[in-house]
Structure 1
Amino acid sequence: MTNTMWTRGVEWLAAAAADPRACKWEWDHGEGIALLEAGRFWDVLSVPERLGLLTLDLLWQPALPVPGPTLVDFTAGRVGFFLPPDPSGGWVGAGLRHATRGSWVAVPPPYRPARSLEWLVPPDGTGTLHSPGTLEDALRQANGTLAVLAAQTGGDRAPGGHER
């Protein structure tokens, strides 16, 4: 990414903070992580890491637009996909967590990781987000692939990491 893209990504993310200046200061001088409220500019759909990484891989296809911002939390073992706000909270499924209005998301700056948080696809500042329909299709495909792999290896866990 170019410096202009980093700057736009920082401004875009910081706009979700109650105090954008304090958010940017925290990224540069504090712990490097800001808590941003979901539901105004974006929601975050958090999924188990293995499912999320496979889903992101499926989204990187020439026929599809570049995926929206995607964050990984290595400690929690989760991948978060930034998508348009959905006040209905329509995302339901084993292992899925939908952060919308009233939820807070720990976010590092777009230009570097902080603690266990790292951008797999940093925001570019244009406001591009994951398309809910495209994301849902990729999640279903990834979940199916993981179910087949679990069956082939005799795994005792479902793709979302839950006991069967």
Structure 2
Amino acid sequence: MPQEAGPWSALSEPGDDIRDSWSSAPHSTILVDCGLEWDAVVVAPLERGLAALTRLGLPIDRGYPVLADYVRQELVIHVPAGTARRCAAQGTRILTTGSWLLVPAGERGSIFATWLSPPHRSRPRYVDPDELSDALQQVDKHSQRGKPACSSPP
């Protein structure tokens, strides 16, 4: 039986608290280079990426760095450095050495870069790109069959 949409899906639209933080946080984003400590996988659309994270069962509050770009409707998921190319799912792009990413300078960021799950201060956890690829493919397969994208694995 399909599971109800998990907590990740609740983040598809910014809440009032997040919107308020954007207006009160000048200089709230910075550009950082990818590929040193982590790579990133950019998933479009945002809801698809959230459904994949729900499918993986990743808790929001455990330090997996995940960003939302609400303007482009993309989800940015950090993976271990040197591994992003292993995510072979369609509708993704990778950011690795030579790429730059806009990230929040503070707690929330901006409409272009908002932490949905901020990295753990001393020991961030990264999403496995192979598992992410599999989860995205499952989300796509279930969406094509007309099933909810956030259903639990069979």
Compute the TM-score of the two structures, normalised by the length of structure 2: 0.67
Q: Distance in 2 between matches of 1:104 and 1:61?
A: 25
User: Aligned pair in 2 of structure 1 residues 128, 143: CA closer, same or farther (>3 Å)?
Assistant: same
Bigger radius of gyration: 1
Please show how residues 68-83 of structure 1 align to structure 2 within 5 Å: 68-83=64-79
Contact 2:40 2:84 in 1 (8 A): no
TM-score by length of 1: 0.63
Judging by fraction of residues, say which structure has more strand.
2
Distance 1:109 1:147, change over 3 A: farther
Task: Output the aligned Cα RMSD.
Answer: 2.8
The answer to whether residue 56 in structure 2 is matched with residue 59 in structure 1 is yes
**Which aligned pairs between 1:50-129 and structure 2 lie closer than 5 A?**
50-60=47-57, 66=62, 68-86=64-82, 89-109=85-105, 111-125=107-121, 126-129=123-126
Aligned: 1:144 with 2:138: no
Q: Are 2:35 and 2:96, in contact at CA under 8 Å, matched by a contact in 1? A: yes
Matched residues in 2 for 1:59 and 1:67: separation?
Answer: 15
Corresponding pairs, count:
122
Structure 1 gap segments, 5+ residues each: 1-27, 153-158, 160-164
8 A contact 2:109–2:115 mirrored in 1: yes
Q: Give yes or no for contact 2:25–2:109 (8 Å, CA) kept in 1.
A: no
- Amino acid paired to 1:140: Q
What is the percentage of aligned positions where both structures have the same residue?
A: 27
Higher relative contact order (CA 8 A, sep 6+): 2
SS in 2 for 1:89: helix
Give how far 1:90 is off: 3.5
Distance 1:29 1:50, change over 3 A: closer
How far off its partner does 1:60 sit? 2.6
- 1:69-103 deviation digits (Å, cap 9, x = unpaired): 11110101100110011268333343211000000
